[in-house]
Amino acid sequence: MLSFNEKPVFYLKVLPVLIGLKLNHCDMADIVLTTFNAKYVHTAFGLRYLLANLGPIKDRAVLLEADIHQWPIDHAEAILAHKPRIVGFGVYIWNVPQTYETIKIIKTISPDTVVVLGGPEISYAYERHPLYALADYVIPGEADLAFRELAQRILAGNPPHEKVFPTEPPDLTEIELPYSLYSDSDVQHRVIYVETTRGCPFKCQFCLSAIDHRVRYFPLDPVLQEIKRLIERGATKLKFVDRTFNVRLEHAVQVMEFLLANYRPGVSLHFEIVPDRLQPELIELSRKFPPGALRFELGIQTFNPEVASRINRPQVNKKIIDTIRTLRETTSVHLHTDLIFWTARRNTRIVCHWIRSACSTQPARNTGWYLKTSPWSSNSHPRRTLSNAI
């Protein structure tokens, strides 16, 4: 299942020679931070946080992005050309096969290179994950500050004995913001991710964000000033990754009013919204933005009250539909609704009813997600819990 089409085996044999030739044209770096993005237009937000918070060893690190359409062997070559002592991989559900193959190649050619894994896909039930055996270290959870501590110990010749490097959610007032690490090319051609909060107050059993029920807030003024600078640099696609943007009205209003005051034509602002909790004040504010400026991703997930109860997602379906229709009829917000189709045991007639209910609101886009269960997850893993609940 994890195999990825590789170039011929002989290419692997000559790869060290190719890397040697490339060394003359590549800056050396003790640390390479890397991942496979789902698409080129996506940017590795988490890796930029790691790089921004490396402190005294930041100059010894480079950021190297690929996408899942690139050959693992080519990406391994690009990584090893920097002759790193440490390679940190961001692991997500979409890049496990590519990451697996890349690490195998790196360990074959340069077995002393230390591989560190982080990211949501390796943060839970990690001992069952196929990448776990290949890694030297795993950092579960938010690694903004923990990665620096681990890297400093490795570079100083004092590596930890334990494979799992524990961490607690960091104090967001102590984190260096990563926005200056978006290059001019990123700003002009790619999606720029931003955030003002972390965590989610809800307990939906299908979502990893539900593991930590707290919502933590970044100091808002510094973040808003960074966003303003991004817009001034020409960023046109800003996506807020706050899990529930409208969880606290005062905060959301302050952000939207700032964005309205600093808006420039052509800028698109994306937010994740809980529709049955969308406050009238935010709907009124959204009317002041020009067409094309706002994109709301509205998480419906299910219209079945029994399923909503089982997955611990309380919601008012009538209010969801009324809110979406109000947005569609009275604002120019681009609406994107989400439904999740779970297991094959779900009655087809009921699923069709969900689809009709969602489409009756006439959003610009309605996406259906088939929620998969990872084969290496335990019964306590959120995705496993969901499939058992249906």
Q: How confident is the model over 99-122, as pLDDT tens digits? A: 999 999 999 999 999 999 999 999
Q: Which residue has the higher pLDDT, 164 or 21?
A: 164
Q: How confident is the model at residue 385 (pLDDT cuts 50, 70, 90)?
A: very low
Give the per-residue pLDDT at 360: 56
Q: How confident is the model at residue 301 (pLDDT cuts 50, 70, 90)?
A: confident
pLDDT digits 0-9 by tens, 163-179: 999 899 999 999 999 99
Residue 370, pLDDT above cutoff 70: no
Torsion angle of alpha carbons 53, 133, 113, 70, nearest 10°? -80
9-23: average pLDDT: 51
CA distance readout (Å), 303 to 31, 162, 182, 240, 361: 47, 45, 39, 26, 13
Residue 386, pLDDT above cutoff 70: no
Other CB atoms within 10 Å distance of the CB of residue 175:
17
* pLDDT-above-70 percentage for the chain: 80
Residue 379, pLDDT above cutoff 80: no
62-67: average pLDDT: 98
Residue 221, pLDDT above cutoff 70: yes
Q: Which residue has the higher pLDDT, 141 or 24?
A: 141
Give the per-residue pLDDT at 220: 98
Residue 389, pLDDT above cutoff 50: no
Q: Which residue has the higher pLDDT, 21 or 288?
A: 288
Measured CA to CA, the distance from residue 195 to residue 251 in angstroms comes to 12
Domains and CATH numbers, the chain: 9-155 (3.40.50.280), 182-389 (3.80.30.20)
Q: Range with the lowest mean pLDDT among 69-78, 208-217, 361-370?
A: 361-370
What is the residue-averaged pLDDT of the chain? Answer: 85
237-258: average pLDDT: 96
* pLDDT-above-90 percentage for the chain: 67
Give the per-residue pLDDT at 307: 78
pTM, full prediction: 0.86
